[in-house]
Amino acid sequence: MSLEAIKYTRGELRILDQLKLPHESIYVDIKTSKDGYYAILNMVVRGAPAIAIVAALSLATELETLRGKLSEYTARGIQDYIEKALDYLNTSRPTAVNLSGAVTKLKAAVAKEAAREGSTAQSVVDVYQGGAEDMLDADVADNRNIGNFGAEWLLKTIAGKEKISVLTHCNTGSLATAGYGTALGIIRSLWSSRSLVHAFCTETRPYNQGSRLTAYELVHEGIPATLITDSMAAAIMQMKKVDAVVVGADRVVANGDTANKVGTYQLAILAKYHGIKFVVAAPTTSIDMKTAHGKDIHIEQRAWHEVVKISGPRVDEIVGDRLALDLKHIHTVNTAAPGIGVFNPSFDVTPAELIDAIVTEKGVGLKDAEGKFHLDALTTILN
Ligand code: MRU
């Protein structure tokens, strides 16, 4: 059974609590946009596409509970209500562009309906909910295309190998999206076409999306995989264990510079040094054509305490290659010297010059002879 981070039917939104993974699979109810805001802010749900979808659906769910009271609103009145809630949701996390893109798109659809002669609060809510629900459906289909395009391009490009090994960073799978995943979607596609030798995932400090979430997804899918700490990436490349690095994106700007989980940039430098392909996999909803350069991306700074602490169940015993865990007691321990200063940017920016391909649901974007990406042309298939 595939993992589902987001369970939605009209009027009911439940999300898998990613803070509890991999030890517990608990779904939490999201009834309002406020619930959605805090779930995103506190990383109960995370990953650029999933953040946008949960934000949009949290408001869709809140609006469903207003159905009985919609006669109290005009079409313009409910438009105002929706816009305020979307603006609020948009402040939850700043770096991933999918959220602000979804907000802009939903606001435009709602404004159009509210301005239509004969529209009602009911019809405006219908348009909002339809738009938010379409985002959920489109994301899974887009990810399957990303997976297939990316796998096909890698196999064609890495000469002389029918099967390859890849390294990935952070979590870009079913848990970060509506399903299937982006960079992890490429790994899934390679695996399902029997073209994957091995997947390596980094631990991804400080939030451990790699060891907690990607490792969980890889084990769940039965994909041959190995976890490394972030500091082991250079060593495994030097040992020639990796043919390509595939990562996701929180924001790809017009020139191809890409913001993704902190640590992505160092992997791109390492890949270049070792002559390994470096691929960014992201839906076109992660592309921000309004920002020209990566230096203009707002990088989210997170709390200092995320860096100095680590949480998990108590280890009772080491039994062979397994740990006997006491799942009833989740502990948080401090790993740093008290008083040390901390810097905790959640993302970094990989310059376009270090990226070989940007894979979207439309195809594989490559650079021209002058080394430039043409992301505006991604409405046509570039594969
Ligand atoms: O802080 P997070 O966990 O939301 O960061 C997630 C990432 O950086 C992912 O790589 C990115 O959002 C792509 S998810 C398909």
Residues 6, 15: contact at Cβ < 8 Å?
A: yes
Catalytic residue set: 250
Task: Please tell me the predicted confidence (pLDDT) of residue 382.
Answer: 46
Q: Establish if 70 belongs to a structural domain.
A: yes
How far away, in angstroms, is 218 Cα from ligand 1 center?
17
How far away, in angstroms, is 166 Cα from ligand 1 center?
18
Q: Establish if 148 belongs to a structural domain.
A: no
Q: State the closest ligand 1 atom to the C-alpha of 182, by its place in the atom list counted from 1.
A: 15
How far away, in angstroms, is 176 Cα from ligand 1 center?
7
79: containing domain: 6-140
Number of domains composing the chain: 3
Q: Which among 140, 171, 204 is the end of a domain? A: 140
The answer on 243 and 179 residing in a single domain is yes
Ligand 1, atom 8: closest residue by C-alpha: 261
CATH of the domain at 224: 3.40.50.10470
Amino acid residing at 35: D
CATH of the domain at 49: 1.20.120.420
The answer on 361 and 321 residing in a single domain is no
Task: Please tell me the predicted confidence (pLDDT) of residue 379.
Answer: 54
The answer on 185 and 111 residing in a single domain is no
Q: Establish if 180 belongs to a structural domain.
A: yes
Question: Which residues lie with the beta carbon below 6 Å from any ligand 1 atom?
Answer: 46-49, 96, 170, 172, 176-177, 182, 209, 248-250, 260-261, 346
Q: Establish if 145 belongs to a structural domain.
A: no
Q: State the closest ligand 1 atom to the C-alpha of 51, by its place in the atom list counted from 1.
A: 4
The answer on 314 and 255 residing in a single domain is no
The answer on 364 and 227 residing in a single domain is yes
Q: Tell me the C-alpha distance between 91 and 350, whole Å.
A: 24
Q: Establish if 153 belongs to a structural domain.
A: no
The answer on 41 and 10 residing in a single domain is yes
From 16, 19, 170, mutation site for ligand 1 pocket: most ligand atoms within 8 A of C-beta = 170
Q: Establish if 1 belongs to a structural domain.
A: no
The answer on 198 and 98 residing in a single domain is no
Q: Tell me the C-alpha distance between 253 and 230, whole Å.
A: 26
**Which pTM was predicted?**
0.95
Give which of 238, 333, 248 is closest to 282, Cα–Cα: 248
Residues 67, 125: contact at Cβ < 8 Å?
A: yes
The answer on 134 and 69 residing in a single domain is yes
Q: Establish if 151 belongs to a structural domain.
A: no
Q: State the closest ligand 1 atom to the C-alpha of 173, by its place in the atom list counted from 1.
A: 15
Q: Tell me the C-alpha distance between 166 and 186, whole Å.
A: 10
22 upstream amide cis, omega within 30 of 0: yes
The answer on 265 and 210 residing in a single domain is yes
The answer on 277 and 204 residing in a single domain is yes
Task: Please tell me the predicted confidence (pLDDT) of residue 315.
Answer: 86
DSSP 243: S
Q: Tens digit of pLDDT per residue, the chain (383 long)?
A: 778 999 999 999 999 999 999 999 999 999 999 999 999 999 999 999 999 999 999 999 999 999 999 999 999 999 999 999 999 999 999 999 999 999 999 999 999 999 999 999 999 999 999 999 999 999 999 999 999 999 999 999 998 899 999 999 999 999 999 999 999 999 999 999 999 999 999 999 999 999 999 999 999 999 999 999 999 999 999 999 999 999 999 999 999 999 999 999 999 999 999 999 999 999 999 999 999 999 999 999 999 999 999 988 888 888 887 888 888 788 899 999 999 999 999 999 999 999 999 999 999 999 999 999 999 887 554 43
Q: Which letter, b or e, does each residue of 95-129 get, where b requires 16 or more Cβ atoms within 10 Å of its Cβ?
A: bbbbbbbbbebbbebbbebbeeeebbbebbbebbb
The answer on 190 and 83 residing in a single domain is no
Q: Which letter, b or e, does each residue of 17-41 get, where b requires 16 or more Cβ atoms within 10 Å of its Cβ?
A: bbbebbeeeeeeebebbebbbebbe
